[in-house]
Amino acid sequence: MSDVWILRSIGGRDRATGAPLRGVLAAADYHNHAVPLEEEFCGAVGRLVAAGLVAADPAGDRYWLTAAGVPLAERRGSFAAVLADLERVALPAAPPWRLPAGTFRAAVDAYLG
């Protein structure tokens, strides 16, 4: 479920309009009434990047949907319906994807502060 949650929370279609991490966390809170844990976020982003659905530039603080990710993120319906679509895409196992130390906590604090 975290894959769908994060996919739907990442905005923008290119690096210039992609969302900063704080914005992704705010959207995630809106969608699921919770802020993801760092492990949930990093796990989902790693799988979504490996599948070619999301692109990420942590150094530039930007996360955006790829052309392949846009239709899935914009699909109307339940999380379960989008999850079924993601399962058809067969998200690959990805090596651990991590943010620089302190980055996630700083974004959470900025969002909640």
pLDDT of residue 94: 72
The answer as to whether 111 is a domain residue is no
The answer as to whether 6 is a domain residue is yes
Query: What are the distances in angstroms from CA 80 to CA 3, 28, 63?
Result: 11, 16, 23
Total domains in the chain come to 1
The answer as to whether 104 is a domain residue is no
More confident: 82 or 105 = 105
**Section 49-71 average pLDDT:** 93
The answer as to whether 112 is a domain residue is no
The answer as to whether 54 is a domain residue is yes
The answer as to whether 65 is a domain residue is yes
**SS3 assignment for 7-57:** HHHCCCCCCCCCECHHHHHHHHHHHHCCCCCHHHHHHHHHHHHHCCCEEEE
**Section 44-61 average pLDDT:** 93
What range defines the domain where residue 52 resides?
2-94
